[in-house]
Structure 1
Amino acid sequence: MTKLIVAVVATAIVGTTIYAPISVAAATADNAALQKTTADCKAQVKSYAKYHETSWYAQRKMVKKCVADATAKQ
């Protein structure tokens, strides 16, 4: 029974060590894409708000919706 527990723990440690760099790289790429999408959406909303009377709260909702739609397409 003790050998089984040691084997499971060792497998978990080795698996985490092997896959951790891959998930970190993927998270970094996702974060960069999300930041770019957010910046693009903010620019769109800002140009829209320049010509239309829009409250800060409405602008914020528009940015969130734009980001959600853009990430759903990917």
Structure 2
Amino acid sequence: AYNGNDTEGLLKEIEDVYKKAQAFDEILKGLPNAMQDALKEDIGLDEAVGIMTGQVVYKYEEEQENEEI
């Protein structure tokens, strides 16, 4: 949380929220493809969405780890 003096901390929090919003947006944009994949691959929609969401989350976590190094 921002305490009024930590500008660098505030910028880091804003950047993190922005990246989470980007990941969420990527999930929303991927929903139509997940629906098509579910039909094409004869798998459940929940499974297709789960796979796609897992890929986005993995990518987000990888980016977070790379930034910490």
TM-score range, shorter chain: 0.5 to 0.7
Larger-gyration structure (1/2): 1
Q: 2:6 aligns with which of 8, 13, 17?
A: 17
Determine which structure has greater relative contact order: mean sequence separation of CA pairs < 8 Å that are 6+ residues apart, divided by chain length. Answer: 1
Name stretches of at least 5 consecutive residues in structure 2 with no aligned partner: 64-69
Shift of 1:57: 5.2
SS at match of 1:26: helix
In terms of fraction of residues, the more helix-rich structure is 1
Please say if 1:53 is aligned against 2:42.
Answer: yes
TM-score, normalisation: structure 1: 0.52
Give the aligned length. Answer: 60
Change in Cα spacing, 1:18 to 1:68, as seen in structure 2 (3 Å) is closer
Amino acid at match of 1:62: I
Name stretches of at least 5 consecutive residues in structure 1 with no aligned partner: 1-12
CA-atom RMSD in angstroms: 2.8
Q: 1:27 aligns with which of 9, 12, 16?
A: 16
Structure 1 runs (4+) deviating above 3 angstroms are 68-73
